[in-house]
Amino acid sequence: MSATVEINFTLNGRKRQLTIDAGLSALNLLRDKLDMTGTKYACGEGECGACTILVDGLSVNSCLMYAADFDGRDIVTIEGLRSDKGFDPMQDAFVEHGAIQCGFCMPGMIMQARHLADTNKDLTYDGLKRGLEGNVCRCTGYKKVFDAVADVIGIAK
């Protein structure tokens, strides 16, 4: 028998109420229960950042977070960055800078970049490189990613 828990939270601006298994990860809730597959499963142990989401404005690895802890929180996933007006400037910048190759790491990379832009007023180019340490990309070599983020934040290289 597995314990269940009722959770109430906001997902990409919309209120949700669900009953879930207490041991379920936030990543499995998003991908397997809610069919929101923009958030990626890769390493499953917090090493790669592909599953990065925002919880109350802070970036976290959703593979390490208990979905039960969504209760009362404001969750934003990559799907939530797009609005009626179009893509988030961070998404556009990644496209313009050619920062994307296979694309698998990009949702996590963009969510972490969004977190950095939103929470660090005095971010430097070196600072954003440090801020993206928890996101692994096996194609691009990172340079174009850093340039895209620097462009959005408005910092010199």
Partner 1 sequence: MQVKPSGTLDEYLAPVTIEEAARALADGRASVLAGGTDLMLQAANGRTPYRGRLVNIRRIAELRGAAITGGRVRIGALTTVTDILNHAELAKAVPVLRQTADKFASNQIRNMATIGGNICNASPAGDMIIPLLALEAEVELASWDGAKIRTREVALEKFFTGPGRTVMERGELLTAVSFAVPEAGHRVRFAKSGPRPALEISTVSAAFAATCKDGVTTNVRIVLGAVAPTPIRARSAEALMEGAECSGDLAARAAKAAAGEISPIDDVRASAWYRTHLTEVFVRRLIEDVCHG
Shortest CB 84 distance to partner 1, Å: 29
> What is the CA angle 107-27-39, rounded to 5?
15
The answer to whether 96 and 38 have CB atoms below 8 angstroms apart is no
> What is the CA angle 72-31-74, rounded to 5?
20
Considering the rule CB under 8 A, would residue 32 count as an interface residue with partner 1? yes
The answer to whether 82 and 91 have CB atoms below 8 angstroms apart is yes
Of 10, 36, 71, 89, the one binding partner 1 by CB under 8 A: 71
| Six token digits for residue 83 | 């609005």
Interface map 89-128 toward partner 1 (x if CB under 8 A): -----------------------x--xx------------
Q: Which of residues 1-30 bind partner 1 (CB under 8 A)?
A: 1-5, 22-25, 28
99 three-class SS: coil
- Part of the chain binding partner 1 (CB under 8 A), chosen from 61-69, 75-83, 95-103, 144-152: 61-69
Residues facing residue 10 across a β-bridge:
15, 74
Which CB, 24 or 148, lies closer to partner 1?
A: 24
- Tell me the CB-side half-sphere exposure of residue 96, using CA atoms within 13 A: 14
Binding site for partner 1 (CB under 8 A): 1-5, 22-25, 28, 32, 41, 44-47, 49, 52, 55, 58-61, 63-66, 68-69, 71, 112, 115-116, 130-131, 133-135
